[in-house]
């Protein structure tokens, strides 16, 4: 049975999940800082084994981002990602100031667009929104 834990900032769990989906390797310092600066974290466990995680980053007033929604491959397609995303969305909606609109955004991995569209996210570009963009900063 899947259980969910809020605000688990264990770097071993985070680095383990990242490795299971073959994401870029982070230093322990980088991973800890990322977790410490998250507004909210939801981690999914199957018994005591981590199988998923999602984080919210942002300013909590104008914009929040879904960051690092990770589901290990053998747990994908079973509702764990949707359950984590629902908890993240509820958290962000509770942050939203009364009578305001908050941008709730993400950058998804290639091929995952359908999952997010199912959860009411809009793929960019549109007629009014330009494409998302990224720049990596690193030592050369």
Chain segment 49-100, per-residue pLDDT in tens: 999 999 999 999 999 999 999 999 999 999 999 999 999 999 999 999 999 9
Q: What is the mean pLDDT of the chain?
A: 95
136, exposed or middle or buried, with CB in 10 Å at 0-12, 13-18, 19+? exposed
Q: Is the pLDDT of residue 135 over 90?
A: no
Residue 137 DSSP code: -
pLDDT of 139: 87
pLDDT of 58: 97
Give residue-wise pLDDT tens across range 95-133: 999 999 999 999 988 888 999 999 999 988 898 989 888
Helix H or strand E encompassing 32? helix 28-36
The DSSP line for 68-120 is EEEE-GGGTTTTHHHHHHHHHHHHHHHHSPTT---EEEE-PPTT-HHHHHHTT
Q: Is the pLDDT of residue 136 over 90?
A: no
> What's the fold here for domain 2-118?
Aminopeptidase (3.40.630)
pLDDT > 90 fraction of the chain, expressed in percent and rounded: 82
Distance CA 40, CA 10 (A): 13
Question: Would you kindly state where each structural domain of the chain is located, as residue ranges?
Answer: 2-118
Question: For residue 46, what pLDDT band results from cuts at 50, 70 and 90?
Answer: very high
pLDDT of 105: 95
């Amino acid at each position: 049975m899947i259980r969910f834990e809020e605000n688990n900032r264990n770097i071993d769990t985070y680095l383990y999940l990242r490795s299971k989906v073959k994401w870029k390797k982070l230093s322990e310092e980088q991973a800890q800082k990322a977790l410490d600066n998250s507004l909210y974290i939801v981690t999914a466990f199957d018994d005591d084994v981590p199988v998923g995680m999602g984080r919210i980053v942002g300013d909590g007033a104008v914009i929040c981002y879904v960051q690092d929604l990770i589901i290990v491959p053998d747990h994908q397609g079973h509702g764990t990602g949707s359950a984590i995303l629902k908890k993240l969305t509820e958290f962000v909606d509770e942050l939203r100031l009364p009578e305001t609109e908050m941008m709730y955004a993400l950058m998804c991995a290639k091929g995952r667009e359908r999952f997010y569209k199912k959860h009411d996210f809009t793929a960019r570009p549109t007629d009014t929104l330009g494409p998302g963009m990224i720049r990596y900063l690193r030592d050369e």
